[in-house]
Amino acid sequence: MAISLNLLQLQPNLARPKFFQTNSLPPMPYVRLPPRSAAVMSQITPSYWAAINEDIEDHLRRVIPVKDPVAVYEPLGHFIFSAPRNSAPALCIAACELVGGHRDQAMAAATAIQLIYAATCTHEYPPLTARGKRASVVDRVYGSNVQLMTGDGITPMGFEILAESCDWSERGSERVRRVMVEVARAMGTEGWIGGQFRGLEEEATVEEVIEKTEGGLHACGGACGAIMGGGNEEEIEKMRKYGKLVGIVKGLTQIVFGGKENERKREKIEELKVLAFKELEGFNGEMVPQIYGFLDFVRL
């Protein structure tokens, strides 16, 4: 089963974006799913994930400039803040705290991941043709030319934010360097963009596309958080694998199947959850239940 990119009609709309009328947007809602067990439920705090997303949202608003030339920065802000919020940045923060780091250490990385995701959303559904069937994930306020060029402008902002966060110590600069590599791979031909192209091929399966897109982005979130938090190589790899499995679960839950195919999907998701939780073995501390509850309380 192939996944095709959604291409929308060429239809310029010069309405002024809501973002610059109010300069504020409410945080994206997160829905709590049924708990896995009463024992884990008693230790998990749903507000933990909500707080992370609020912190990322606040930081994003502080670092995104609103300045002249308006013709450049107005659409830039619009597409960044109209893009859906992804759970990979929140996982980045949680992974950092899981390995003993502080939230501030991973905030730039989490923000960069969200910006990279916003860029993919801006590029993924440009209003070029009427062949697509899915709705656009960003508001069609500007013409396709502006939307395409703005997506190109969002990407380097993520790397700029990462570079500016570096404390320039040998350890700090090495961590930021590694995170930049992780983010570049998650977006490039080995990651999201590669998944998009793979989805255009008739022989591509849903799982192959999801593994590169949501799987790759969440693997990046888990690994980057562990890197910035000072985790060892084993912890980094565990969080990378956990993130990838979580991302695939997220992608599968968003695909609607029917009949026996839907039953197979549910079985696959349960198998992936078991594998994901196995990656958490060996971690200790109060953060473990929070990471364990990621699939229960973050809207996947």
Selection from 30-34, 88-92, 168-172, 283-287 with the highest mean pLDDT: 88-92
Q: How confident is the model at residue 138 (pLDDT cuts 50, 70, 90)?
A: low
**Total count of domains within the chain:** 1
On whether residue 137 sits in a domain, the answer given is no
Any domain includes 12: no
Question: Predicted confidence band at 73 (pLDDT cuts at 50, 70, 90)?
Answer: confident
Q: Return the structure tokens found at 38.
A: 């009463």
d(CA 179, CA 242): 17
The 10s digit of each residue's pLDDT in 103-130 is: 999 999 999 999 999 988 887 655 444 4
d(CA 282, CA 122): 39
Residue 208 within a domain: yes
Rg (CA), the chain: 19
Would the pLDDT of 155 be above 50? yes
| 83 touches 155 (CB < 8 A) | no
CB 126 within 8 A of CB 148: yes
Q: Are 92 and 219 in contact (CB under 8 A)?
A: no
Range 26-45 average pLDDT: 37
- DSSP H helices in 125-213: 144-164, 170-187, 192-199, 206-212
Give 193 or 186, the one with higher predicted confidence: 186
Question: Within a 10 A sphere around the Cβ of 194, how many other Cβ atoms?
Answer: 17
pLDDT of residue 183: 96
Within a domain: residue 177?
A: yes
Q: State both tokens at 93.
A: 């923060």
State both tokens at 140.
């069609």
Q: What percent of the chain has pLDDT above 70?
A: 76
Q: Encode pLDDT of 268-291 as tens digits.
A: 999 999 999 999 999 988 888 888
The pLDDT-based confidence of 9 (bands split at 50, 70, 90) is: very low
What was the pLDDT predicted at 31? 28
| 45 occurs within a structural domain | no
Per-residue pLDDT band at 219 (split at 50, 70, 90)? very high
**What are the two backbone dihedrals, phi and then psi, of residue 135, each rounded to the nearest 5 degrees?**
-75, 150
Over pLDDT 90: what percentage of the chain? 39
237, part of any domain: yes
pLDDT: which is higher, 7 or 245: 245
Nearest CA to 106 among 258, 207, 1, 239?
Answer: 239
Task: Give the Cα separation of 155 and 143 in Å (integer).
Answer: 19
Residue at 4 is within a domain = no
Q: For the purposes of burial, counting CB atoms within 10 Å of the CB of 197, is it exposed (0-12), middle (13-18) or buried (19 or more)?
A: middle
Indicate whether 119 belongs to any domain.
Answer: yes
Q: Rounded to whole angstroms, how far apart are CA atoms 112 and 117?
A: 9
Residue with more model confidence, 60 or 68: 60
pLDDT, residue 165, reads 87
Can you tell me the mean pLDDT for 200-204?
83
Confidence band, pLDDT 50/70/90 cuts, at residue 149? confident
> CA-to-CA distance for 278 and 194, rounded, in angstroms?
28
Q: Answer whether 124's CB lies under 8 Å from 5's CB.
A: yes
Mean residue pLDDT across the chain = 78
The tens digit of pLDDT for each residue in 222-253 reads 999 999 999 999 999 999 999 999 999 999 88
CA distances to 75, 80, 81, 95, 161 from 18, rounded to whole Å, are 11, 12, 10, 34, 25
Please determine, for residue 177, whether its predicted confidence score (pLDDT) is greater than 50.
yes
Q: Distance between CA 208 and CA 243 in Å, rounded?
A: 16
Model confidence at 45: pLDDT above 50: yes
Q: In CATH, what number is assigned to the domain containing residue 173?
A: 1.10.600.10
| Low-confidence winner among 64-68, 96-100, 238-242, 250-254 (lowest mean pLDDT) | 64-68
**Per-residue model confidence (pLDDT) at position 297:** 55
Domain that holds residue 248: 60-126+149-297
What pTM, to 2 d.p., does this model score? 0.78
